[in-house]
């Protein structure tokens, strides 16, 4: 299979390899999380909204979401994608606010920031 590389100037997503290399996640869960990370920061997540973006049905999306229930996985991947410099408070604040808007608690987010900063 040929690997096609493109010049990345717009309409692309940069994300951590963390979830992609997690042997405990199915390909379906990895793909769904990757798609979710590619969505705009103000996206309002719902099962119906995710179903509308893919050819799999509601049951497939729900099972992938159930596999991704650990909020640490999502928070860590999101922060790794959005924060290029863990010492940059502005980047941390912007990413943290986006996670709280998505329904995560400040405690979950602050624990994720600590993991990002200290590499845990």
Q: How many CA atoms lie within 13 A of 110 on its CB side?
A: 3
Residues 6+ positions from 69 with CB-CB distance below 8 Å: none
Residue 96, pLDDT score: 93
- Regarding pTM above 0.75, the answer is no
Q: Are 75 and 99 in contact (CB under 8 A)?
A: yes
Cβ(28)–Cβ(60) under 8 Å?
yes
Per-residue pLDDT of the chain (120 residues), as tens digits, is 777 776 777 777 877 888 888 887 889 989 999 999 899 888 888 889 999 999 989 888 887 887 787 788 888 888 988 898 988 999 999 999 988 887 778 998 999 999 998 875
**Contact indicator for 21, 27 with CB cutoff of 8 Å:** no
- Buried-exposed string 11-25: b where 16+ CB fall within 10 A, e elsewhere: eeeebeeebeeeeeb
Structure tokens at 101: 């808007």
What's the pLDDT tens digit per position in 37-51? 899 888 888 889 999
pLDDT of residue 55: 92
């Amino acid at each position: 299979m040929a690997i096609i590389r493109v010049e990345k100037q717009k309409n692309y997503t940069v994300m951590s390899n963390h979830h992609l290399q997690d042997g405990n996640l199915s390909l379906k869960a990895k793909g769904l999380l990757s798609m979710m990370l590619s969505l705009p920061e103000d996206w309002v997540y719902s099962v119906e909204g995710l179903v509308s973006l893919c050819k799999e049905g509601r049951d497939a999306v729900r099972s992938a979401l159930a596999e991704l229930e650990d909020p640490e996985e999502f928070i860590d991947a999101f922060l790794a994608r959005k924060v290029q410099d863990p010492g940059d408070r502005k980047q941390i604040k912007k990413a943290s606010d986006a996670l709280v808007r998505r329904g995560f608690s400040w405690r979950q987010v602050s624990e994720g920031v600590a993991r990002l900063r200290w590499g845990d």
